[in-house]
């Protein structure tokens, strides 16, 4: 079970690295005016989302579900876990929204300012804090 937990943590960390970095790329992309820079950001965003974030998100889910399945009797009535699951689902929604934004930028259809993306960049940090507290402290 410790190996499964270790891999869950590894893929969550990798996924969060992308969740923190991709909106930062959006900030810079929204501020960029030269075509070479715009094209460079399109490639970086696509590769980060498809090659790193999405596989990491999928593997984090696989190992997380595996962990719960292995200790179902202990976790079935743990309210903290179900709140964490809801927050994780919100994070997957955020991930999907970021994918939509990657497509909008790729099609040169971004309609938002860099300020919007600066605020958007804060969402995963809030979720990370809440989820870490739930997983470690288990407040209820």
- CA gap 99, 96 in Å, rounded: 5
What DSSP character marks residue 34?
S
Distance of CA 6 to the CA centre of its chain: 18
Per-residue pLDDT of the chain (140 residues; tens, 9 = 90+): 999 999 999 999 999 999 999 999 999 999 999 999 999 999 999 999 999 999 999 999 999 999 999 999 999 999 999 999 999 999 999 999 999 999 999 999 999 999 999 999 999 999 999 999 999 999 99
* pTM, entire model: 0.95
Nearest Cα residue to 12 out of 45, 57, 44:
57
The domain segmentation of the chain, as residue ranges, is 2-137
């Amino acid at each position: 079970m410790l190996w499964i937990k270790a891999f869950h943590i590894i893929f969550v960390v990798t996924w969060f690295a992308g969740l923190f970095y991709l909106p930062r790329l959006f900030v810079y992309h929204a501020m960029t005016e030269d075509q070479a820079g715009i094209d460079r950001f399109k490639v970086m965003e696509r590769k980060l989302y498809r090659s790193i974030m999405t596989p990491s998100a999928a593997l984090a889910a696989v190992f997380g579900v595996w962990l719960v399945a292995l200790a179902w009797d202990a976790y079935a009535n743990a309210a903290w876990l179900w709140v964490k699951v809801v927050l994780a689902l919100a994070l997957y929604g955020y991930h999907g929204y970021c994918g939509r934004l990657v497509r909008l930028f790729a099609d040169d259809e971004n309609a938002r300012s860099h300020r919007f993306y600066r605020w958007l960049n804060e969402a995963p940090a809030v979720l990370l804090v809440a989820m870490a507290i739930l997983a470690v402290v288990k407040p209820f």
